[in-house]
Structure 1
């Protein structure tokens, strides 16, 4: 288990951590040191235990604020998702359109009638041309 030397509020500490977690420990120590520096600038020198307690409380307060904001954003996201689902479901119902199927024998009959009409039209034209000439 590695021993890591960290500095918080101008004081050095030896801390043990798991292998591979040294970077996380240094990062956390820097956050705590930043808060301790703010306290030191505002209040001046104070006992180690009090400085660590106050710096920890300041970090906990920031963490609580971040958690509150995360919960607020999650709530807003859930509301938006519900709105979106409502909009998706609120669209107009699809209109049912029925296309009639014309039976083949009716098509055949219509084709036969069309052919007869064309034949009659051709005959009328021939007669009209013969009378004119």
Structure 2
């Protein structure tokens, strides 16, 4: 069983863990260290047990808040899935009408564009 040395709130601890869990332990210890260091900055020096208790409670509070958000997201996901299940199946096709430009409008627009290009060429020729 590996022994891992962790630092929490400026204090070193040796903790045993299962093989392969060292990185998880280090990550959890780093999270606890952030809270403990924050407490030490705000409150000052305190007994080790109180520091660990307070840091653990802060992490538990944050975790509870995240769990609430996960439950909300799961509820919204369930609602969206229910709406998708009630939506019409692929066999239903929505018909959309696309307006068609009459030929004479297209021809008129092409003529206007040609005249504008000719005028632009003429203006550029005078500017040179």
- The answer, yes or no, to whether TM exceeds 0.5 is yes
Alignment gaps of 5+ in structure 2 = 93-128
How many corresponding residue pairs? Answer: 91
1:27-42 map, 5 Å: 27-42=27-42
Matched, 1:10 2:10: yes
Q: Shift of residue 84 of structure 1?
A: 1.4
Deviations 1:74-116 (A, max 9, x none): 0000011111111226x87xxxxxxxxxxxxxxxxxxxxxxxx
Normalising by structure 1, we get a TM-score of: 0.65
Question: Which has the greater radius of gyration?
Answer: 1
1:1-133, aligned counterparts within 5 Å? 1-88=1-88
Separation in 2, partners of 1:86, 1:2:
54
- Runs of 4+ in structure 1 deviating by more than 2 angstroms, as ranges, are none
Q: For residues 10 and 55 of structure 1, what CA distance do their matches in structure 2 show?
A: 13
Alignment TM-score, normalising by the size of structure 2? 0.68
How many Å apart are 1:55 and its aligned residue? 0.2
Deviation at 1:32, TM superposition (A): 0.2
CA RMSD, Structure 1 to Structure 2 (Å): 1.3
Gaps of at least 5 residues in structure 1 are 93-133
